[in-house]
Amino acid sequence: MPYQPYNYLDQTLQEVSTPEVDNATLASVVFYCTALQTPEQRNATDSTVVYGSNLFTQIGCATCHRPTMTTGYSPIAALSYQTFNPFTDLLVHDMGPGDDDHYTEGTALTSEWRTTPLWGLGLAPNVQGGTAYLMHDGRATSIQQAIEMHGGEAAVSAQRFGALSASDQNALLTFLKSL
């Protein structure tokens, strides 16, 4: 029997008079997305990457972009109790007035955003036509710009990034591009 993680799928499909996909197809797509491999870090042992990774923690980026998490139980054995590196705490944070789009979603403030996972960050330009469009609305076209747009709860770590020497900034960016 195909894996069906979400029971509400059946109910949702029954409420739609002419569903365009049947349950089995939808369950297969959900399974495919659930089981996708996460992007793997490249050059993890390169000395600049390691140095940049330490800076990432030192200036406070890792408090929100949490490097390591462990999954709970999953009926898919390969996903059960796995340690993985999402670089997010999966929480929303107030990013300040500069990142406020004045559009209400649920109970979040209009300046609150979920910490973006940074896995695959260095690969983003490859799938976005050569340029990475970062932050919730793609307003940043470089990692450095994205960092400079961090206000609110993230303002202090962004200021610490700005205060680093040019070579330390480059090491941090080299680390981020390895993700």
Instruction: Answer yes or no: are the C-beta atoms of 158 and 29 closer than 8 Å.
Output: no
134 binds ligand HEC (CB under 6 A): yes
Q: At what angle do helices 8-15 and 23-34 cross, to 10 degrees?
A: 140
Token pair 């029997």 is found at 1
Which residue among 26, 27, 49, 154 contacts ligand HEC (CB under 6 A)? 154
Q: Report, in Å, the least distance between residue 29 CB and ligand HEC.
A: 24
How far is the C-alpha of 132 from the C-alpha of 125, rounded, in Å? 4
Q: Which is nearer to ligand HEC, 4 or 139 (CB)?
A: 139
How far is the C-alpha of 128 from the C-alpha of 150, rounded, in Å? 22
Q: Report, in Å, the least distance between residue 143 CB and ligand HEC.
A: 5
Tokens, residue 26: 């939808």
Q: Which is nearer to ligand HEC, 26 or 119 (CB)?
A: 119
Residues that bind ligand HEC (CB under 6 A): 59-61, 63-65, 93, 95, 99, 113, 115-116, 121, 134-136, 143, 146-147, 150, 153-154, 157-158, 161
